[in-house]
A and B are shown apart, each in its own frame.
Chain A
Amino acid sequence: MESTRTGFGHALLEIAQEREDILVTSADTYRSFALGEFVERFPDRYFEFGIAEQCMITASAGMASEGYTVFSVGYSPFLSMRAVEQIRTFCAYTNQNVKIVAGLGGLSGDTDGVTHQGTEDISMIRAIPNMMLVSPADSVAARAMTKMIADIRTPVYLRLGRGATPIIYDEDQTFELGKALTARDYGTDAAILATGYCVGEAMKAADALKEQGVGVRVLDFHTIKPFDTEAALKACADCGNIVVVEDGSIYGGLAGAVAETFVENGAAPKKFKRLGLTTFGTTGTVPQLAEFFGLDRKALEKTVKDMIG
């Protein structure tokens, strides 16, 4: 178990040792991103704005316009919503090299409740041109993808969690930006398309279903934008039964991206089910909320069985 924020923090420290253009901006949040050592070792490359997310984002765009690579850390609801105009107009429209690093993505704000849950972040950020949207499923993915996004010079939203979550990938797992990862490939009875925390639940569901003679493919959409149209269409053609699961709004979320892709390409799934939020979140631990909102292993198992039933 490890937080995706820890994976990010460790990767950034490694990159910063090699590259002097790497800066961190923080809204009283560096402590939550395992950046203590970065701050200690590179005090002149760390800018603390205080609790002032909007100012931080536009100032980060200003820094990026001077040629730097800026990693701006904060919490998903306060970045994807409170500072969304700053992200859209000053980072995305201007195509600045700002990496918006958002902890507390989706329901991971857990017992803090709705104010701290970024359950609309995918929908908000997907709508913005030029933005890449990356949503790693575990700490291994977060570490690898932090390094990858540091190498591109355009704006990225990195959607992270909060608490420690299961490690689902081996240390040597490779990732390719923009290409969904096949996390399980047990057959073509159904495919589960997932992102973030829900990928681990989907893998557990696939393992359990395999025992029961049901073969499921699991795709990890660690990059939501650009969207891997090919993998989604292939899952539809191969498996027919499609379940999309995410710990945030299905309106405009991963489910929205999948549905749009299917309709636009004339792909007709046999059955199509969206698991995610249609309401606000509430207070609870992540496993409690996953069960409450029907996003956990059990809900996925049942959904697949009902589909093929």
Chain B
Amino acid sequence: MNEEIRKLYRTAYGLRKDAVDMVYHARTGHAAPCLSEADILTALYFHVMNLDPANPHWADRDRFVLSKGHASPLYYAVLARRGYFPPEDLMEYRGLNTKLQGHPDMKKCPGVDFTTGSLGNGLAGALGMALIGKKDKKDYRVFAVCGDGELDEGIIWEAATYAGNEHLGRLIVFVDNNGLQSGGAVEKIQDLGDIAARFEACKWHAQTIDGHDMEAILDAVAEAEKVTDKPSVIVAKTIKGKGVSFMEGQYLWHMKAPNDEQYAIACEELERKVKEYE
């Protein structure tokens, strides 16, 4: 493993620790949904995306939409560690009238490109940005991360159809395919069948990868970049709660804060992982 990849893993586990800290401190929030998306967001923000944290509205920056907006703690940690605001502010999460609202707010939080939390809408927001990128002949790319349960929403497929018909090659969407949603297994609640094939039917380029393999994530983005006449979906097989043993694969940790004892275990496990990648 090269040093860059090692560093990305280290960063991802550090961010997971931040997210767990925030949920523990707020006594509520979505811990497990953060842990599955951690490697994807880390790869994007610490390797892939063209950004200027000192200038969050820079016109040529790459855009990002966290369509599964409930997984905001990790996103906020990413933005803080990337320099959009001081990491000390992270403990404001869910505090009264804070910039770190329960769900990402583009008017309150520096670095957030689009307000989300009402599932399904984020992808359509990203579609709008990508349509403007095409119309105005801009080079920026638009990245989005959707939940797999989120794909139940009709608006997802309305947006996917339009994006495919418009050949939006600069739109790259990850599905955080952790197999769980709020009330249990996605397969049991509404089986979505072959997610990649569904997007392909909407004229997208589709790849399926291990969403916790940093090299695979980077390779998939590089591959998606080569496809200029179609939007890309990267179905990332992930584990909800990844990195904290008692949260892994447990839907009951969808929205729940760890108690003192659980928090201690989570910190210990995540810190050990950070060390492992030093």
Interface residues of A (CB under 8 A from B): 26, 28-31, 48-52, 54-55, 77-78, 82, 111-116, 282-285, 288-289, 292
> By the criterion CB–CB under 8 Å, are B96 and A113 in contact?
no
- Return chain B residues, CB-CB under 8 Å to A77: 118
> By the criterion CB–CB under 8 Å, are B102 and A49 in contact?
no
> By the criterion CB–CB under 8 Å, are B95 and A29 in contact?
no
- Chain B CB count within 10 A is highest, among A55, A114, A115, A288, for A115
Q: How far is the CA of A284 from the CA of B26 in the complex (A)?
A: 10
Main secondary structure of the interface of B (DSSP, over half): loop
Q: How far is the CA of A276 from the CA of B221 in the complex (A)?
A: 48
Known pairs A51-B182, A113-B101. 11 more at Cβ < 8 A? A28-B181, A51-B120, A51-B153, A52-B153, A52-B154, A54-B154, A78-B118, A113-B117, A115-B102, A115-B117, A115-B118
> By the criterion CB–CB under 8 Å, are B190 and A52 in contact?
yes
Q: How far is the CA of A33 from the CA of B105 in the complex (A)?
A: 27
Q: How far is the CA of A113 from the CA of B107 in the complex (A)?
A: 13
Question: What is the CB-to-nearest-CB distance from A109 to chain B, in angstroms, rounded to a whole number?
Answer: 8
- Return chain B residues, CB-CB under 8 Å to A289: 96
Q: How far is the CA of A111 from the CA of B115 in the complex (A)?
A: 16
Q: Mark B100-144, 1 if CB is under 8 A from A, else 0.
A: 111101000000000111111000000000000000000000000
Q: Mark B242-264, 1 if CB is under 8 A from A, else 0.
A: 00000000000000000000000
- Return chain B residues, CB-CB under 8 Å to A113: 101-103, 105, 117
**Contacts A112-B117, A283-B95 known; A48 to B182 CB distance under 8 Å?**
no
Question: What is the CB-to-nearest-CB distance from B184 to chain A, in angstroms, rounded to a whole number?
Answer: 8
- Return chain B residues, CB-CB under 8 Å to A288: 96
> By the criterion CB–CB under 8 Å, are B102 and A50 in contact?
no
**Contacts A50-B149, A111-B28 known; A28 to B117 CB distance under 8 Å?**
no
Q: Which of B26, B102, B150, B183 contacts A48 (CB 8 A)?
A: B183
- Return chain B residues, CB-CB under 8 Å to A50: 149, 152, 181, 189-190
**Nearest A-chain residue to B27, judged by Cβ:** A111
Q: How far is the CA of A20 from the CA of B194 in the complex (A)?
A: 36
- Return chain B residues, CB-CB under 8 Å to A114: 101, 103, 105, 117
- Return chain B residues, CB-CB under 8 Å to A282: 96-97, 101
Question: What is the CB-to-nearest-CB distance from B59 to chain A, in angstroms, rounded to a whole number?
Answer: 27
> By the criterion CB–CB under 8 Å, are A283 and B115 in contact?
no
> By the criterion CB–CB under 8 Å, are A292 and B96 in contact?
yes
- Return chain B residues, CB-CB under 8 Å to A55: 154
Question: What is the CB-to-nearest-CB distance from B99 to chain A, in angstroms, rounded to a whole number?
Answer: 9
**Nearest B-chain residue to A109, judged by Cβ:** B102
* B94 interface contact, C-beta 8 A: yes
Question: What is the CB-to-nearest-CB distance from A119 to chain B, in angstroms, rounded to a whole number?
Answer: 14
* B98 interface contact, C-beta 8 A: yes
* B69 interface contact, C-beta 8 A: yes
Q: How far is the CA of A282 from the CA of B94 in the complex (A)?
A: 9
